[in-house]
Amino acid sequence: MENNIWWRNAVIYQIYPRSFADSNADGLGDLPGITGRLDYLADLGIDAIWLSPFYPTPDKDFGYDISDYCNVDPRFGTLADFDTLVAESHRRGIRVILDMVMNHTSDQHPWFMESRANRDNPKRDWYIWRDTPNNWEACFGGRAWEYDPSSGQYYLHLFTREQPDVNWRNPEVRKAQLEAFRFWLERGADGFRLDVFNAYFKHPDFPDNPPRFGLRGFDRQKHIYDMDQPEMIPLLNELRTLLDSYPDRYAVGETYLGSAQKAASYCGADKLHAAFSFDFTSADVSVLMSGLLYSWKPRWIMQKVQERDRIFDAAGVWPTTVMSNHDLPRAVSRYSRGEEDGMAKIIMTILLTLRGTPFLYQGEEIAMRETPLEHSEIVDPPGRKYWPIYKGRDGCRTPMQWDDSPHAGFSSVTPWLHVHPNYRQRNVAAQQADPASMLNFTKALIALRKSHPALQDGDFLPVAATRHILAYLRRNETGAILIAMNFSRRPRTLTLPATLHPRERLLTSAQGTLPPSGQALPLAPREACLWLC
Ligand code: GLC
């Protein structure tokens, strides 16, 4: 496995641009807003930012429906603003990763406008048109095929009907898409996050997907013909050759409906550098939606970590760790209630001390909570469709909470989604001033990850996974670090193996905790701590 490569050891911070910082008082965040906050990010200690889409978009899926791959939506700024953002990021040692949404475009993309104009249009074959639909379902609800009365055919859309899937089998499409990558590489992008990349190719014969047990239409099918086709691998080879023609570039794929096995299979020296396996989120999302179980338990986590690491190790590739992103209910709200941050610190500790590249989602460092929204406030298409069974993704996309001024310092006007009402207490400024805050804890963890190589590339060795305690070691030739967490609200004791001797406490989320006595390490309620051994 390649060692000491920036992205392996990096902490990557996801920015959802429209909710990060609004510099021009229109209620939407923008690129200059991000540039204005780079010092904050540098101080946090992150190595790279991943920007969710900022390209021109009619906003049917809030930027994930792109109408021009090679531009900036005027509401988010200009190409010159992008250049400034890249230059200023680089000046601070922060790399910039862009979100490439290339499974589909917006239906307002000129390519699709031409394609739908008539059956003989040279761009007709740039999208997927058929006389008769098959049984495929759209992820956001309903059939995946939309009838176009003027040309009398159906086009495919795996997401909303305003997001037609492009035909990656057409060589001109392939060329045009790779050119878009090149455009941003030339402008200084350090890498890409590939949106639903494993759905680019569909089976050429469009067979019906077989049924499976599931809650929604989309879940009630096995997705074997609408994604993960073998043609993806040669395309990744080609993309990797392009990336490797520039120094130090990186690509991480969003493996749609991906297991660790599947994600790992797309990574390697001639494929993607990394692919999300969502080990700590996906099980819980379905659990959460059906409201059945609460699986955020030490044993479950330990099992997930070991399973993931075994699969990625066997493939000789490096995993990623994700707890939250713009598609999921924030982890702290999935796994805890109320405003107390004990569980948030446990989640952050796991995120930043496992093997694999951690991805932090904006606001996670201050433990922003999922924002409760009324039905009338929901703008996210699947949320509107499935309310109240599924409330959509707006709750994790509300504005960043910078300070206690109106609109949380995000904007001087009413933002596109309202700010979480807890912003008066929960905000960056307040937490900067509090040594025991989530923010300072996160900063300390990132700094430890940087200064202790065992936390980057060290082996993962399980120590305990009981009803209440999760503990493991990260160890390499430079040393060993014990990470111990008490999930319960009562004090507990971790009994250490005889060979383990904690020498120095590097960090704890609790106050006034006791030192170890013999092989007994006392843990305060909800404590997360790191010890040098
Ligand atoms: C990915 C994105 C999500 C988007 C979808 C369609 O899953 O993360 O936000 O809605 O793709 O582009």
Instruction: Encode 477-519 in three state secondary structure.
Output: CCEEEEEEEECCCCCEEEECCCCCCCCEEEEECCCCCCCCECC
Token reading at 211: 């049924």
Q: Which atom of ligand 1 is nearest to the CA of 101?
A: 12
User: How far is Cα 49 from Cα 45, in angstroms, rounded to an integer?
Assistant: 11
Contacts of residue 203, Cβ cutoff 8 Å, sequence gap at least 6: 225, 226, 229
Looking at residues 443-464, what average pLDDT do you find?
97
Q: Locate tokens 């009994």: which residue?
A: 495
Given a cut of 70, is residue 166 above it in pLDDT? yes
One-letter amino acid of 410: F
pLDDT value of residue 284: 57
- Quick check: is 254 catalytic? yes
Contact 169, 159 (CB under 8 A): no
**What are the residues whose beta carbons fall under 8 Å from the beta carbon of 29, sequence distance 6 or more?**
16, 17, 18, 19, 20, 21, 22, 76, 399, 400, 410, 411
With a 6 A CB cut-off, is 218 part of the ligand 1 pocket?
A: no
Share of the chain above pLDDT 70, in %: 97
CB 274 within 8 A of CB 317: yes
Q: Which residue's CA is the nearest one to ligand 1's atom 6? A: 64
- Residue 196 C-alpha to ligand 1 middle, in angstroms? 7
Average pLDDT over residues 385-405: 95
- In angstroms, what CA-CA distances link 233 with 93, 240, 312? 32, 10, 17
Q: For ligand 1, say whether the CB of 206 is within 6 Å of any of its atoms.
A: no
Total residues found in the chain within this entry: 533
Distance CA 144, CA 134 (A): 9
Q: Is 485 in the pocket of ligand 1 (CB under 6 A)?
A: no
Q: Which residue has the tokens 């430079």?
A: 478
The pLDDT of residue 291 is 46
For the whole model, what pTM was predicted?
Answer: 0.97
Task: Check pocket membership of 322 for ligand 1, CB cut-off 6 A.
Answer: no
Predicted confidence (pLDDT) per residue in 211-265, tens digit: 998 777 898 999 999 999 999 999 999 999 999 999 999 999 999 998 999 999 9
Residue 412 has a pLDDT of 98
Domains of the chain: residue spans and CATH: 6-105+170-448 (3.20.20.80), 110-156 (3.90.400.10), 458-532 (2.60.40.1180)
Q: What is the pLDDT of residue 147?
A: 98
Mean pLDDT value across the chain: 95
Which ligand 1 atom is the nearest neighbour of the CA of 104?
A: 12
Up-side HSE of residue 120: CA atoms within 13 Å toward CB? 0
Catalytic residue among 30, 162, 254, 279: 254
Token duo for residue 267: 């990574």
pLDDT confidence bin for 282, thresholds 50/70/90 = low
pLDDT in tens, 33-66: 999 999 999 999 999 999 999 999 999 999 999 9
pLDDT digits 0-9 by tens, 93-143: 999 999 999 999 999 999 999 999 999 999 999 999 999 999 999 999 899
Give me the catalytic one of 195, 228, 309, 341.
195
The finding on whether 81 has its CB within 6 A of some atom of ligand 1 is no
Atom number, ligand 1, closest to the C-alpha of residue 159 = 6
Split at pLDDT 50, 70, 90, the class of 289 is low
Is the CB of 327 within 6 Å of ligand 1?
yes
DSSP bridge partners of 533? none
Residue 476 burial (C-beta neighbours within 10 Å; 0-12, 13-18, 19+): middle
Whether 292 has a pLDDT exceeding 50, the answer reads no
Task: Find out whether the beta carbon of 195 lies less than 6 Å from any atom of ligand 1.
Answer: yes
Kindly tell me the burial class for residue 511, based on how many C-beta atoms sit within 10 Å of its own C-beta (0-12, 13-18, 19 or more).
exposed
Residue 285 has pLDDT above 60, yes or no: no
Amino acid occupying residue 324: S
Give the atom of ligand 1 at the shortest distance from the alpha carbon of 65. 12
